[in-house]
């Protein structure tokens, strides 16, 4: 290997490592922000809404509840409610955070 390539490779390696670590920090902060938003929306929006739905379904007969469990209605309600509540909670939290300008 020619001697003039070694410093060039070192400079390129340093630039790429700096770029990677800068991007890795942004990716890590984005992941932590996402996890915080998901935890907040799950804890403060989804769980109270699910308990309200459970109390609304509490007066159903045993046969109706058995059919709903057989047809996985409870799982589908949970999935749909979680998706809507997480999206609404994320928008609410991101709007609250707002752009830092």
- Mean pLDDT along residues 20-27: 69
- Mean pLDDT along residues 26-38: 70
Burial of 68 from C-beta contacts in 10 A (0-12 / 13-18 / 19+): middle
What's the chain's average pLDDT? 76
- The pLDDT tens digits for 46-85 are 788 778 888 888 888 889 888 988 999 888 887 887 788 7
Q: What is the pTM of this model?
A: 0.47
Residues 88, 44: Cα–Cα separation, whole Å: 12
């Amino acid at each position: 290997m020619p001697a003039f390539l070694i410093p060039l490779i070192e400079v390129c390696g340093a630039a790429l490592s700096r770029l990677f670590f800068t991007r890795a920090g942004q990716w890590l902060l984005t992941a932590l922000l996402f996890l915080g938003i998901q935890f907040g929306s799950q804890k403060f929006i989804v769980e109270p809404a699910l308990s309200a739905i459970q109390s609304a379904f509490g007066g159903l007969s045993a046969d109706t509840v058995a059919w709903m469990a057989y047809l996985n209605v409870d799982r589908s309600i949970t999935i749909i409610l979680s998706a809507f509540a997480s999206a609404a909670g994320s928008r609410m939290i991101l709007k609250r955070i707002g752009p830092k300008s």
